[in-house]
Amino acid sequence: MARRVSGGVIAAIGVVGVLLFCCVGGGLLAAGGMALQSRVSALGGACDGQPVPTAAAYTPGAPALATVMERGSMGGGWTAQFGRLRSEWASDTTETSAIVVCLDQEVERLAERCDYEGGMVANRYTYDQHVRIVVAQTAMPLIDTVIAGGDAPLCPDILTGEAGSSYRYDGPHVSEATATFEALLRPILGG
Q: ∠ CA 35-41-44 to the nearest 5 degrees?
A: 160
C-beta of residue 97 within 8 angstroms of C-beta of residue 40 = yes
What is the torsional sign of CA 40, 42, 48, 51? Answer: negative
User: Where are any strands of DSSP class E within 77-120?
Assistant: 78-80, 99-103, 107-115
Least confident of 14-18, 87-91, 150-154, 181-185: 14-18
User: Which pLDDT score is estimated for 123?
Assistant: 95
- Pinpoint the alpha helices (H) of the chain: 7-40, 44-47, 178-189
Q: What is the mean pLDDT of the chain?
A: 82
pLDDT digits (tens, 9 = 90+) for 104-114: 999 999 999 99
Mean pLDDT, range 32-36, rounded to an integer: 46
Tell me the whole-structure pTM to 2 decimals.
0.74
